[in-house]
Copies of this chain bind each other. A is one copy, B any other.
Amino acid sequence: MKIIGVDIGGANTKITEIDENGKHIIKHIYLPMWKENHRLTEVLKQNCPESDFKVALVMTAELADSYATKEEGVIAILDAVAEAYSNKIPIENISVFDTEGNFISVDEAKINHMKVSASNWMATAELVKEINENCIFVDMGSTTTDIIPIKNGKVLANDNDLERLMNNELLYVGTLRTPLSFLANQINFRGVLSNVSSEYFAITGDVSIIMDKISENEYTCETADGKSTSVEDSLIRISKVLCTDLNQISKEEAVKIAEEYYDIWKNLIKTNVSLVSSKYDLKDVIITGLGEKILIDSLNSDYTIKSITEIYDKDVSLATPSYAVAKLMYDNL
């Protein structure tokens, strides 16, 4: 029987299909849940086999603004998922992965919404511990960075986002969507520490493009000004962070702003990983996600690094939780 691993994130839904022979196909769908959550059922319907399959589900989109509480979000998402597959498979074929590493039924998940809220990183960690049972697993996606300690084959991370934030296991900085104003409200420019704008003028995707850490077609979210993902347009956006433009400052200076933010960004990653590293005495790091190159730049000098791209392939690296949850179910069959 085919298995589909579904990871419903705030901005992207990722679906990994594993067939009877263990071959996988991965799909990425941009679906901004804070404004288009009504489209979820339709999107899932369009991206599944005809019949006779199982679904392994993880989610983080319940945190989106469309829902007042996580409970409301989890239940709405589970209802949308159940509806999407209701004509093709019995509801027993849908399992939800929880933050303790188990698959539970849709009904159980509805009752225990905190168990299934933001369990995507747990699915990946369960996969990673097979590779190295003493490591820090770091996944930088479009929006966030998960920093997961694995010790003696046990995933030691906290099981909800609040406690993960409090323990440096969740850093809300990703490869694309983080406003630069979040990284720092002051930066060095022309030799002085300058204030910056708090408007949504430029995001980490612009820095990733300018620093050549992703390709233009990997910049899959909307840009801040709706214009292209080119280096040229990214430089225009980044100049606005200092309330200026490419008439008033040079392109080289705009590149320097990007470099400055890139240094701050790398330091944030390094600081958070090092706090987890000292706490659990772990020096090996396994990295994955769209930001692998940025993670290497941040951590290479202090840690032994292996990437999911090397171990599997780039497709898996870009959608690790959906692959992991499908693979975990496949291995359980």
Query: Hey, which bits of chain A sit against chain B, CB under 8 A?
Result: 10, 63, 65, 68-71, 114, 118, 143, 160-162, 165-168, 170-173, 177-179, 181-185, 189-190, 192, 194-201, 224-227, 236, 240, 242-249, 268, 272
Q: Which residues of B contact A177 (CB under 8 A)?
A: 198
For the complex formed, measure the closest distance between the CB of A274 and the CB atoms of chain B, giving whole angstroms: 14
Contact B171 A195 (CB under 8 A): yes
Known contacts A162-B242, A247-B70; A197/B225 CB under 8 A: no
**Secondary structure at chain A's binding surface: helix, strand, loop or mixed?**
loop
Q: Which residues of B contact A160 (CB under 8 A)?
A: 244, 248
Q: Which of B71, B194, B198 contacts A173 (CB 8 A)?
A: B198
Partner of A198, one of B172, B194, B236, B240: B172
Q: How far is the CA of A178 from the CA of B181 in the complex (A)?
A: 10
Residue from B65, B171, B190, B196 in contact with A172 in the complex, judged by beta carbons closer than 8 Å: B196
Taking a contact as CB atoms under 8 Å apart, the answer to whether B178 and A198 are in contact is: yes
Residues from chain B with a CB closer than 8 A to the CB of A196 are 165, 172
Q: Is the CB of B182 within 8 A of A198?
A: yes
Q: A77 CA to B162 CA in the complex, in Å?
A: 45
A195 touches B168 (CB 8 A): yes
Contacts beyond the supplied A162-B248, A181-B181, A200-B200: 18 A-B pairs with Cβ under 8 Å: A65-B224, A65-B240, A68-B236, A70-B245, A70-B247, A70-B248, A118-B243, A162-B243, A165-B242, A165-B243, A166-B190, A168-B195, A172-B195, A172-B196, A172-B197, A177-B198, A179-B182, A182-B185
Which B residues touch A171, using CB under 8 A?
A: 195
Q: Is the CB of A69 within 8 A of B246?
A: yes
Identical subunits present: 2
CA distance A69 to B245 in the complex (A): 6
B65, B162, B195: the one contacting A170 at CB < 8 Å is: B195
With the chains together, A179 CA to B190 CA distance in Å?
26
Which residues of chain B are near A65, meaning CB under 8 Å?
A: 199, 201, 224-226, 240
CA distance A52 to B236 in the complex (A): 42
Least CB distance from A76 to B in Å reads 14
Q: Which 7 A-B pairs have the closest CB atoms?
A: A161-B243, A182-B198, A162-B244, A166-B194, A165-B195, A65-B225, A69-B245
Q: Which residues of B contact A246 (CB under 8 A)?
A: 69
The minimal Cβ–Cβ distance linking A283 to chain B, given in whole angstroms, is: 22
Is B272 within 8 A of A195, CB to CB? yes
A197, B34: Cα distance in complex, Å: 15
Cα of A249 to Cα of B184 in the assembled complex, Å? 27
The answer on a CB contact under 8 Å between B182 and A244 is no
Chain B residues with Cβ under 8 A from A69's Cβ? 245-247
Query: Which residues on the B side are within 8 Å of A227 (C-beta)?
Result: 68
Interface centre among A170, A200, A248, A272 (most CB of B within 10 A): A248
Name A236's closest neighbour in chain B (CB-CB).
Answer: B68
